[in-house]
């Protein structure tokens, strides 16, 4: 049994946090799926790197502009993104079918420039859902205050949603309840899927910097612990929100819980294990989306020690409480991280548009 299938047997589906044309065309993604990868996620940063750092899309830019010289850079981007997501969805379709719609998904994000606009987010999500035209698409919507009502609306319309940039229990509960309200309004909730992307390593990066500033022995002992502790508290809340008593009437209509998806699981601090955010976040009905380097590391030397999410809940509470005692305002940390995350994706998107503008200009200039 592969490591990827082993972790799935323990409850966690491993998804691949990367997409690029050559991966789709040369069989790379198909090989990963055969090995046990069960989904793909993308974001503006991933597409920016894929298009800017390779020539994979240059012929497509040239062809698109020959067909329609007036194409905007956003038109170009969407044509590439939609084509890639469709191809990935088709490769993953057997996983989707075999799992009865539990796995086999590919994510495509609405423009991060719309993060503070509810109606515009809803309109773009509807348009992308229709354009991709695959049942195993997840449209990514950020967990901003304006994103919450958009999520409710989209779920109510039967559109699958990957809610991204969740850092706090408050963020998580607000979108989980939006999902529940959306299910209540849905004509048929049985085929609706959603994941809540809860970010991990970024939490440690910022929290550790504040602990280093505090500099006390107690503060330094907490480094590298906040991300896992925060995630375990979120998983406990998930079990409360989607337990049989709370979710039973919707489950009777065929609805599925909104799974927690652990995102930002590449280890950023070289002092920590490069599979830390995989091994410590294993548990029933969860997803872990990991970048290529983390996938390779887990294949090479990762272990599946069991359902680690089900243990250490008291210790997680103690870690979060201890942060306050060391002068770290954890609520401020998670709020800052969401603001920075929205800004980072917006910057990546704008950088992508600039790259496409440059390449299109070269094509137009011959």
> DSSP for 209-237?
HHHHHH--HHHHTTTTTHHHHHHHHHHHH
Residues 75-111 pLDDT 10s: 888 888 999 999 999 999 999 999 999 999 999 999 9
- Angstrom distances, CA of residue 15 to CA of 8, 12, 78, 127, 330: 10, 9, 23, 25, 28
More confident residue, 301 or 356: 301
pLDDT tens sequence across 325-341 = 999 999 999 999 999 99
CB-CB contact of 104 with 150 (8 Å):
no
What domains can you pick out in the chain, each with its CATH number? 3-364 (3.20.20.70)
Give backbone dihedrals phi and psi of 66, rounded to 5 degrees, phi first. Answer: -65, -35
Does 54 score more than 80 pLDDT? no
CA atoms of 337 and 203, how far apart (whole Å):
7
**By C-alpha distance, which of 191, 110, 113 is closest to 150?**
110
Q: Could you tell me the pLDDT band of residue 45, with boundaries at 50, 70 and 90? A: confident
Residues 173/181, Cβ–Cβ less than 8 Å: no
Task: Kindly state the greatest CA–CA separation across the chain.
Answer: 65
3-state secondary structure of 15: strand
**C-beta separation of 225 from 319 below 8 A:** yes
Give yes or no for a contact between 163 and 139, defined as CB atoms under 8 angstroms apart: no
Supply the pLDDT for residue 12. Answer: 98
- Residue 44 predicted with pLDDT over 90: no
Q: pLDDT by residue (tens digit) across 195-209?
A: 999 999 999 999 999
| Selected residue with higher pLDDT from 66 and 137 | 137
- Residue 290 pLDDT > 80: yes
279, 6 Cβ separation under 8 angstroms: no
Q: Which among 3, 140, 232, 359 is annotated as catalytic?
A: 140
- The reply to whether 359 belongs to the active site is no
- Please say whether the beta carbons of 32 and 100 come within 8 A: no
d(CA 38, CA 107): 12
3-class DSSP state for residue 142?
strand
Report residue 254: phi and psi, to 5°: 95, 5
Nearest Cα neighbor of 289 from 189, 281, 97, 136 is 281
Which spans in 280-329 are helix H?
Answer: 292-301, 313-325
- Are the CB atoms for 199 and 169 separated by under 8 Å? no
pLDDT higher than threshold 90 for residue 186: yes
Among positive and negative, which fits the CA dihedral 216, 321, 222, 328? Answer: negative
CA distance 87 to 335: 36
């Amino acid at each position: 049994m592969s490591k990827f299938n082993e972790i799935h047997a323990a409850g966690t589906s491993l998804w691949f946090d990367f997409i690029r044309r050559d991966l789709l065309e040369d069989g790379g993604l198909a090989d990963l799926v055969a090995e046990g990868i069960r989904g793909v996620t993308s974001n503006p940063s991933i597409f920016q790197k894929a298009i800017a750092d390779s020539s994979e899309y240059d012929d497509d830019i040239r062809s698109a502009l020959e067909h329609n010289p007036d194409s905007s850079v956003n038109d170009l981007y969407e044509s590439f993104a939609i084509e890639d997501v469709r191809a990935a969805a088709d490769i993953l379709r057997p996983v989707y079918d075999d799992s009865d719609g539990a796995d086999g998904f590919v994510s495509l994000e609405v423009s991060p420039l719309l993060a503070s606009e509810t109606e515009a987010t809803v309109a773009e999500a509807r348009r992308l859902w229709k354009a991709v035209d695959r049942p195993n698409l997840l449209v990514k919507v950020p967990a901003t205050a304006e994103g919450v009502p958009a999520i409710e609306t989209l779920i109510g319309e039967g559109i699958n949603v990957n809610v991204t940039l969740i850092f706090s229990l408050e963020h998580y509960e607000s979108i989980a309840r939006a999902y529940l309200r959306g299910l209540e309004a849905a004509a048929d909730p049985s085929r609706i899927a959603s994941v809540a992307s809860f970010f991990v390593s970024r939490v440690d990066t910022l929290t550790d910097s504040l602990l280093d500033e505090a500099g006390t022995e107690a503060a330094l002992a907490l480094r590298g612990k906040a991300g896992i502790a925060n995630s375990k508290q979120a998983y406990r809340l998930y079990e409360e929100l989607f337990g049989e008593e709370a979710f039973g009437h919707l489950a009777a209509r065929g609805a599925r819980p909104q799974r927690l998806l652990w995102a930002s699981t590449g280890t950023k601090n070289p002092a920590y294990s490069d599979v830390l955010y995989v091994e410590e976040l294993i548990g029933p009905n969860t997803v872990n989306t990991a970048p290529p380097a983390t996938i390779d590391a887990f294949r090479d030397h990762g272990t599946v020690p069991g359902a680690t999410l089900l243990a250490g809940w008291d210790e997680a509470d103690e870690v979060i409480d201890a942060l306050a005692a060391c002068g770290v305002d954890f609520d401020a940390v998670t709020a800052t991280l969401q603001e920075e995350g929205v800004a980072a994706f917006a910057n990546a998107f704008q950088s992508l548009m600039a790259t496409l503008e440059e390449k299109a200009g070269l094509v137009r200039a011959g």
